[in-house]
Chain A
Amino acid sequence: MSSVQTPPILSIQGVSKTYEGGFQALHTVDLDIKKGEIFALLGPNGAGKTTLISLICGLARLSEGTITVDGHDVVKDYRAARAKIGLVPQELTTDAFETVHNTVSFSRGLFGKPKDPAVVERVLKSLTLWEKRDSQLRQLSGGMKRRVLIAKALAHEPDILFLDEPTAGVDVSLRREMWAVVGDLRKTGVTVILTTHYIEEAEMMADRIGVIAGGKLILVEDKAELMQKLGHKELTLVLQEPLTTIPPALSEFDLALSEDGQSLTYSYDTRAERTGIGSLMRLLAENGVRFKDIATKQSTLEEIFVGLVEETR
C-alpha cells in the first residue's frame, strides 16, 4: 500500500561534487523531495549540506549527476528551475544601506516577477517585518536580518524554500522564533528544505530527515520511522526483590543492574532480527527473577545521529 504517487518537486540523482583543489565534497547523492514536505538535512559541519544546496541553486557547478526542480534541469533549463526556488543562505549577507521594503522588492524583480506591492506587503507582514519596512538593514538585529532574508527568498512566491542553517549561532529564543516561522510556512504549502546540525531542530521541524556525513547521504527516513526503526531501546525492569549480581544464566543478554540492585536494564537494537525480549522474559521466569514494573525508553534522534556518524568514520 502506498499513497498516490506524485512526481517529486526536487529530484537529485547521482550528484557528486569535487572542488577545484580536488576535494570531493559530495559522493553520488540521490534524493527525492516531495511537494509540500519539510525536509531536514542533518549533518555535522563540513558534511556537504551547503555544497548540496549550492549545486541545486546554481551557486556551484555540478561535477556529476542531474538535479531537476519540478521537472526542470537546473543546468539546461535553469531559468524555469531557479524561478521556483528561494534561498536563504547560511551567512547573514545584506546590503547595509537598503531598506527592508526595497531589498524585498528587488528580490522579486530579480526573480522575474513584476512589481506587486500586495505580495511584498503580505510577505513582510507574515514575517512581522511590516513595521520595519522603511528601516535600513544595518539598523536591524540578527534575528530580524534573518527574517528579511527569508522575506527576500519568498518575494517571488517560490515553490521550494531552502533554509541553510537558519538557527546556527543564534540564541534559544531566536531559535524558537525560527521554528515558529517554519511552522507558519508549512501552512502555506511551500516545500521547505532546511539544513542543521542541531538534532533537536530536525526533530522539531521536519517531516523527513536525511542524515549526511562526509559528503554521503547515509539515510533518509520519515522522522517518526527514523526514531522507531533505528532506535536503540532500553527495557527497564523494576524488581520485586533486589539482586546482588546478574544470574549467570542471563549472561548472553546486554543487561545492567542498578547500583541498589532494584532494577535491571536491557539494551537492544530494534533493527535486529530478534530483539531477544521473549527469551529474556522466559529465562527471567525460570531463574525466579520477578519484577513489579516495566518501562521502555526510545533513544533520541541525537543518539541515533551520533551513532550513525561514527559508523561512517
Chain B
Amino acid sequence: MNIHAVAAIYKFEMARAWRTVMQSVISPVISTSLYFIVFGAAIGSRIQEVDGIAYGAFIVPGLIMLQLLTQSISNAAFGIYFPRFAGTIYEVLSAPVSAFEVVLGYVGAAATKSIILGLIILGTAMAFIDLPIAHPILMLVFLVLTAVTFALFGFIIGIWADGFEKLQLVPLLVVTPLAFLGGSFYSIDMLPPFWRDVSLANPVVYLISGFRWAFFESSDVSIVVSLTMTLVFMGLALAFISWIFKTGWRMKP
C-alpha cells in the first residue's frame, strides 16, 4: 500500500478546502441557518410535534443530511473533475498507486470535509434548540457512512462529467430533490400510502430515517433496513468505481 501517496492526495485536497473555506464551510452553514430560521422558527412554531418531537428538533437530522449529501457529492466530484479538466491528473495516473489508494485519498478527503461540516451544523443547531442525541455513536456511524457513500457517488460524477454544467447538474437535479422528498422536513408516514411507497424507492429516505433514529429513536423505516440500504449503496458505488479503473473509462484512452 502506497501510504505516502494516499497521504499526499488527502493533504492536497484538504489544503484546497482550506483555501476555499468560505465556499466549503461558511456558505452551507449560512444556508442551513436560513432553513432553520424559516422552517424551524417561523413555520415550525405553527406546526405540531412530529412523532412527539418538536418540529424544530425534528428537522435537524434532515438538514444535516441535506448538506452532507450535497457537499459530499460536490466536494468529491470537483476534487477529481478539476485535475481532469486542468490536465494535472496525468501525475496521479502515472504514479505507482492503485485505484483503491486514489479513491481513498480523494473520497477520504471529501468525506472528511463534509463530516466536519455536518458536525458544525449540528453544533449550530444545538445553539438554537434543545436537541437530544439518543445514540451518539450510531449518529456518527451514519454521518460517516453517508459522507463516504455520497463522496463515492460524487467521485463517479466527477469522472463522468465532461463539463462544469454536468458537474452541477446532478447535485441540482437529482440529489437536492431526492433529499427534499426524502423526508428532510417531514416524516414520510405523513404522506398518503401511495406516495409513501413511492418514497421508499428514494435512497435518501433510508439515510435520513436512520440518522433521525439515532437522535430520537423514532423513524420511518427500521434502523436495520436503513443501515443495510446505506451499505448496499456504498457497495454499488465501489463496484462501479473499480469498473472505471479497470477499463480506464473517461481516464485512459
User: Chain B residue with minimal CB distance to A83?
Assistant: B96
Q: Is A94's CB under 8 angstroms from B88's CB?
A: yes
Contact A93 B96 (CB under 8 A): no
Q: Does A305 contact B (CB under 8 A)?
A: no
Closest A residue, CB atoms, query B98: A79
Tell me, in angstroms, the Cα distance from A110 to B90 when the chains sit together. Answer: 12
Chain B residues lying within 8 Å of A102, measured Cβ to Cβ, are 15
Q: Per a CB cutoff under 8 Å, which of B4, B19, B87, B253 touches A112?
A: B4
Task: Find out whether the CB atom of A106 lies under 8 angstroms from the CB atom of B12.
Answer: yes
Q: Count A-B pairs with CB separation below 8 Å.
A: 77
Of the residues A19, A82, A89, contact of B87 by C-beta under 8 Å: A89
- With the chains together, A111 CA to B92 CA distance in Å? 9
B91 contacts across to A, CB distance below 8 A: 87, 107, 110, 152
- Kindly specify which of A34-42, A53-61, A192-200, A255-263 makes contact with the partner chain: A53-61
CB pair B94 A59 closer than 8 Å: yes
Q: How far is the CA of A128 from the CA of B217 in the complex (A)?
A: 63
Do B94 and A58 have beta carbons less than 8 Å apart? yes
Contact A20 B253 (CB under 8 A): yes
Closest to B247 in A: A61
Contact digits for B1-29, partner A, Cβ 8 Å, 1 yes 0 no? 01011011101100110010000000000
* Closest chain A residue, CB of each to CB of B105: A110
Whether A58 pairs with B5 at a CB distance below 8 angstroms is: no
Q: Is A111 within 8 A of B96, CB to CB?
A: yes
**What is the minimal beta-carbon distance from A150 to any residue of chain B, in angstroms?**
13
> Which B residue sits closest to A25, measured CB to CB?
B253
Query: Within 8 Å CB of B95, what residues of A?
Result: 82, 110-112
A110 touches B8 (CB 8 A): yes
Identity of the chain A residue whose Cβ is nearest the Cβ of B12 in the assembled complex = A106
The verdict on A60 contacting B96 (CB below 8 Å), with A91-B87, A93-B86, A109-B7 known, is no
Query: Given A97-B19, A110-B9, A114-B4, are A82 and B94 also a contact pair (CB < 8 Å)?
Result: yes
Chain A residues touching B, range: 20 to 34
A102 nearest CB neighbor, chain B only: B15
Give the residues in chain B near A291, CB-CB below 8 Å: none
Contact across chains for A109 and B4 when beta carbons are under 8 A apart: yes
Taking the complex as formed, is A168 at the interface, i.e. its CB lies under 8 A from any CB of chain B?
no
A58–B89 Cα distance when bound, in Å, is 12
Provide the bound-state CA to CA distance between A79 and B158, in Å.
Answer: 25
Give which listed residue, A59, A85, A105, A107, contacts B93 with CB less than 8 A: A59
Q: Is there a chain B Cβ closer than 8 Å to A122's Cβ? A: no
Contacting B90 at CB < 8 Å: which of A81, A93, A111? A93
Asked if A82 meets B88 with Cβ closer than 8 Å, knowing A61-B253, A106-B8, A112-B2, the reply is no
Over the window 138-171 of chain B, the binary record of Cβ atoms lying under 8 Å from chain A Cβ atoms (1 yes, 0 no) is: 0000000000000000000000000000000000
**Does any Cβ of A come within 8 Å of B248's Cβ?**
yes
In whole Å, how far is B14's beta carbon from the nearest beta carbon of chain A?
Answer: 12
A78 contacts chain B at the CB level, 8 A cutoff: yes
Instruction: Please state if A59 and B2 are interface contacts (CB–CB under 8 Å).
Output: no
Query: Cα distance A83–B2 when bound, in Å?
Result: 11
- B87 pairs with A93, CB closer than 8 A: yes
Chain B, residue nearest A112 (CB) = B2
Q: Are B4 and A60 in contact (CB under 8 A)?
A: no
Shortest beta-carbon distance from A166 to chain B in Å: 15
**How distant is the Cα of A311 from the Cα of B153 in the complex, in angstroms?**
52
Whether B87 lies near A80 (C-beta < 8 A) is no
Contact across chains for B90 and A89 when beta carbons are under 8 A apart = yes
Does residue A229 face the partner (Cβ distance < 8 Å to B)? no
Instruction: Judge whether B97 is part of the interface by a CB distance below 8 angstroms.
Output: yes
User: Which one of A19, A82, A89, A107 lies within 8 Å of B96 (CB-CB)?
Assistant: A82
Q: Which residues of B contact A58 (CB under 8 A)?
A: 93-94, 252
A residues near B (Cβ < 8 Å) are 19-20, 54, 57-61, 78-83, 85, 87, 89, 91, 93-95, 97, 102, 105-114, 152
Q: Knowing that A61-B252, A61-B253 are A-B contacts, what are 6 other residue pairs whose CB atoms are under 8 Å apart, sorted by A's residue number?
A: A61-B248, A78-B96, A82-B96, A108-B4, A111-B4, A152-B91
**Closest 7 CB pairs between A and B?**
A109-B8, A93-B87, A82-B96, A79-B96, A57-B94, A109-B4, A83-B96
A-B contact pairs, 18 of them (CB 8 A): A54-B253, A58-B93, A58-B94, A58-B252, A59-B90, A59-B93, A60-B253, A79-B96, A79-B98, A89-B90, A102-B15, A105-B8, A109-B8, A109-B11, A110-B92, A110-B95, A110-B97, A112-B4
